[in-house]
């Protein structure tokens, strides 16, 4: 069960195409279900709308919400609407099923770390409004790899990679291998990528490596390092 708010002026600009705004609001939640290797089922939608908003805009937002839900086998079954005076918002809550959910906490020393696609520059390029949640990739991994831990990247690799760290394990990243849309800094510190970051057993690395990008490994030494040097926990912080 996951919920993820999308707020005007924060997650989308007022002039963004409303169908893409709806797509994004649903796809963020689909990405959360993908991160646990789950299958999405049912969603409800809370909308905060200014009374001056044209009906056409709302219909387009809903078209985007439905399109993303349908494409990945989910269904919108209800919701509620309120008026707001300032920024509009869309909160989708999504249910999913997983026989054996993949958690953030399962990484083991020796595991190899991968990402499903290139990182960075998502906001500037518009990728954040049109991205594909990695549900199919997660199902493939669940079937074809010894998948120990997984997370979706929303606040930047340098920040989110820390969610895989536990006492007694650390992470080494190799900058040359991080797939990027523009610069390394953007790949590390920008947010809204919605690619999956995951750890698999070494025995799965060769097979997984033919499809995805290996960017590092799980080690016994605590902390997160890039090319051997401590990586600062920068990235997107809602309350920085």
HSE toward the beta carbon, residue 211, CA cutoff 13 A? 14
Q: How far is the CB of 82 from a second copy (least distance, A)?
A: 5
With contacts defined by CB under 8 A, name the span among 48-56, 113-121, 131-139, 173-181 that binds a second copy.
Answer: 48-56
Residues from 11 through 40 that contact a second copy (CB under 8 A) = 11
Q: Does 209 bind a second copy (CB under 8 A)?
A: no
Give the number of other CB atoms < 10 A from CB of residue 225: 16
Q: Does 103 bind a second copy (CB under 8 A)?
A: no
d(CA 47, CA 14): 15
Q: How far is the CB of 35 from a second copy (least distance, A)?
A: 13
d(CA 75, CA 63): 12
Q: How far is the CB of 84 from a second copy (least distance, A)?
A: 6
DSSP string, 3-44: EEEEEBTTTB-TTS-HHHHHHHHHHHHHHHHHHTT-EEEEEE
With contacts defined by CB under 8 A, name the span among 13-21, 44-52, 167-175, 210-218 that binds a second copy.
Answer: 44-52
Residues that bind a second copy (CB under 8 A): 1-5, 7, 9-11, 42, 44-49, 51, 77-87, 89, 91, 93, 95, 238-239
């Amino acid at each position: 069960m996951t919920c993820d708010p999308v707020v005007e002026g924060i997650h989308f600009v007022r002039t963004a195409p409303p169908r893409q705004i709806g797509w994004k609001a649903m796809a963020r939640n689909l990405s959360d279900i993908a991160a646990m290797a789950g299958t999405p089922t049912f969603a409800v939608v809370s909308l905060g709308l200014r009374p001056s908003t044209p009906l056409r805009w709302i219909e387009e937002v809903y078209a985007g919400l439905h399109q993303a839900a349908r494409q990945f086998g989910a269904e919108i079954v209800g919701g509620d609407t309120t008026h707001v005076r300032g920024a509009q918002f869309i909160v989708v809550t999504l249910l999913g099923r997983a026989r054996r959910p993949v958690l953030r906490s399962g990484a083991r020393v020796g595991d190899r770390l991968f990402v499903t696609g290139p990182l960075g520059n998502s906001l500037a390029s518009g990728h954040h409004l049109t991205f594909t949640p990695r549900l199919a990739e997660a199902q493939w991994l669940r079937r074809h790899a010894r998948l120990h831990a997984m997370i979706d990247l929303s606040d930047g690799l340098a920040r989110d990679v820390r969610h895989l760290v536990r006492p007694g394990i650390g992470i080494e990243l190799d900058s040359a291998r991080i797939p990027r849309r523009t610069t390394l800094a953007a790949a590390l510190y920008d947010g809204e990528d919605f690619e999956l970051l995951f750890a698999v057993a070494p025995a799965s690395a060769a097979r997984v490596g033919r499809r995805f990008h290996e960017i590092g490994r799980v080690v016994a030494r605590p902390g997160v390092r890039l090319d051997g040097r401590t990586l600062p926990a920068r990235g997107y912080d809602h309350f920085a």
